[in-house]
Amino acid sequence: MNTQEFTISLFSEDHIGITNQITIILTRRQINIESITASESAVKGVQILTLVVRTTPEMVQKVVKQMQKIVEVLKVFVHTSDEIIYQELALYKVRTKGLMSGNLIDRIVRDHNARILEVHPEFMVIERTGHKTQINDLLHLLEPCGVLQFVRSGRVAITRQVKELHAYLEEMDEANQQRPDNFDSYN
């Protein structure tokens, strides 16, 4: 089976239960969600769910068609990694003693574009944004120093395409305005 990574951007009205409906669709097709992020979008009242899945191109198209059928869903886009600009965020809680040996802390901050958020006698909190591989590389570098906690966010992504959600919403409005009003035939 020729699987690849896809980022699904799902725009919906702000209603309870959308995430549940989406996960049911993916579960039925036995597709695991590798990353999920939900937030408001640039359009007021519209939420965006960004999901990262690994599946075949045929299967991702099938699940997108099912997602589009959900009433509250306005539009669903599917992209490969080269069609989007994306980042993830990671926080590392590391023993202070382990980081203070040599110039390791300087190397981490400079070479890995990391940032120190807090310093305590027992631990430091380091932040890193980037792609999953970059985040994991830093984790492996920090492990000998004593990683106490590690957390990575889901993917946040924007498209390289020019046509944005605003244009799709305007097209939908125009299509709805051009439909004949069925109520007139009952009067």
pTM, to two decimals: 0.79
Which long-range CB contacts under 8 A does 172-181 form with residues at least 24 apart? 172/74
DSSP codes of every residue in the chain = ---EEEEEEEEEES-TTHHHHHHHHHHHTT--EEEEEEEE-SSTTEEEEEEEEEE-HHHHHHHHHHHHTSTTEEEEEEE-GGGEEEEEEEEEEEEHHHHSSTTHHHHHHHHTTEEEEEE-SSEEEEEEEE-HHHHHHHHHHHHHHHEEEEEEPPPEEEES-S--HHHHHHHHHHHHHHS--GGGGG-
pLDDT at 107: 80
1-60 pLDDT, tens digit per residue, is 799 999 999 999 988 899 999 999 999 999 999 999 999 988 888 899 999 999 999 999
Chain region(s) in the chain for CATH 3.30.70.1150: 85-152
Domain 4-79 classified CATH 3.40.1180.10?
no
106-134 pLDDT, tens digit per residue, is 788 888 999 999 999 999 999 999 999 99
Chain region(s) in the chain for CATH 3.30.70.260: 4-79
The CATH superfamily assigned to 85-152 is ACT-like. Chain A, domain 2 (3.30.70.1150)
Q: With pLDDT > 90 as the criterion, what percentage of the chain qualifies?
A: 63
